[in-house]
Amino acid sequence: MENFNNDNKNELDTENNTTGIPPAEHQPNSGSEFYGNRSNEGNPIPNQYYRNTNTFPTNNGYYNHAQNNPNLHKPKNKVSGLFIAVITLLVLLFSSAILIVVIFSTPIQSDTGDKPYFSYGDSDYDDNYDANLDDNTFSQSPPKYDYGDEIGIEQNSKPNPNNANSPALNAVGVAKKVSSSVVEIWTYAHPDRFEPNGQGSGIVLTKDGYIITNAHVIESASKLLVIFSDGTEREALLVGMDLKTDLAVLKVEGQDLNAAIFGNSDELELGEDIITIGSPSGLTGTITKGIVSGLNRRIVSDYDAYQMNCIQIDAAISPGNSGGALVNMYGQVVGINSSKYVSHEIEGIGFAISINEARPIIEALIKDGEIKGRVRIGIVFIPVSDTVAEMSGDVAGLHIQSIDDECDIARSGLRINDVITHINSVKVTTLEQVQDLISDKAAGDKISATIYREHSGEGETLEITFKLESDD
């Protein structure tokens, strides 16, 4: 007989109070990012019964002769080999009977191609995939749709709140109006396997099957499956995607699909109620509600330093929500949710790409299959404002950290640690100012810049010129 003192009992109770690890978000970069559900695979199970056999409880009415009289020993029990053999045989027979019952009582799952009950994050890979497979398999693109259509996104103004004919809806009304215009997207990395490797959401743009989603949802796919709110499944073709803005357009066969109604994101106000609709972790048609927490947030994407005008919200945006709809209380889509613009360090902060920012990108993808005409300078810099420069005794402007050797600016005389103070005679201290100055330029256009350089403890001002590079 073993006894435990209070310390040992508390230790045992603590070990028994274990909790399971919840599924992962990223799921597909979660970056989750991806986004799979795993729980302690390969980890040893901790011993839940710590016993101190050298310490016995005292003052509890139990007297241990063996402990207090070391010379006294309990006689060993003699058990015959025949008895052990009989017990072992009975245990084996009992275990076999249980196994047979379990096998014949378990229903056989048919291989019907239904989407699995488990979920992945946005475009995250499943850990069960064979690591020896050719990496090029993951870089295959989905079948392409012949781009070339010219489709304009029709946007509607927010109704007058005093108009009784167009009242604001509650969450139930918004869900009924918009849910059928939001789809679930499953991605397949291997064309010869039936197991998906990623999942996201999309918005029906037109009645004939154009669908908007995020580029990171489908960038690693070789096949795409779209599932509508009524359960209808269709294979999707890729029209075009743009990783810099995290936007993509797909095409499915269809007629009279329930296309979304689009609003004007410039009409949003701080504190305004909004609804998000998507399929986080494969939970189809999930509705979350929140408010507009911030407007015109210039957010840098995970892909590179390209900034997008985003709407900050407090409604949950999880992996699988990416590509879903941000909707105002009139049932108008005003943004495209993206988990790639989610703050993973702070709770209650999510972002959606404003529809006004996304509109020209989407229209260009439908027409050309890609975004053409982007330009870049070829530098990495730290922006320093006038106030920060005054506080630190430095110079305001763009403090150069690196220069791309393949760009024309590398041959202009610019050096690392120089400070660009003006571009085309306009003072610059932020990335937004730089993007605005070159947004209407073409590759090959000449740009002038004023730089400040420290030399032997003294500063000098120089003028340089360079050509912009293509960034298609």
Q: Give the residue among 116, 115, 284, 125 at the shortest CA–CA distance from 219.
A: 125
Q: Measured between alpha carbons, how far is 424 from 439 in angstroms, rounded to an integer? A: 13
3-state percent helix, strand, coil for the chain, nearest multiple of 5 = 20, 30, 50
Q: Is 231 left (phi over 0), alpha (psi -120 to 50) or beta?
A: left
246 is catalytic: yes
273 is catalytic: no
Q: Measured between alpha carbons, how far is 324 from 202 in angstroms, rounded to an integer? A: 5
Torsional sign, CA 428, 430, 431, 437 = negative
The β-bridge relationship of strands 210-213 and 198-204 is: antiparallel
Q: Return all residues near 402 (Cβ < 8 A) that are at least 6 apart.
A: 379, 380, 416
Q: Give the residue among 341, 302, 318, 287 at the shortest CA–CA distance from 119.
A: 318
φ, ψ of residue 404 to 5 degrees: the values are: -75, 120
In which element (H, E) is residue 450 found?
strand 446-455
Q: Which residue has the tokens 């210039």?
A: 298
DSSP 367-416: HHSS----EE--EEEEEE-HHHHHHHT---EEEEEEE-TTSGGGGTT--T
Maximal C-alpha separation, the chain = 101
Which residue is catalytic, options 122, 126, 242, 246?
A: 246
Which residue is catalytic, options 126, 180, 201, 216?
A: 216
Beta pairing partners, 277: 287, 325
399 is catalytic: no
Beta pairing partners, 155: 262
Which residue is catalytic, options 30, 322, 339, 354?
A: 322
In which element (H, E) is residue 103 found?
helix 81-105
Q: Which residues are catalytic?
A: 216, 246, 322
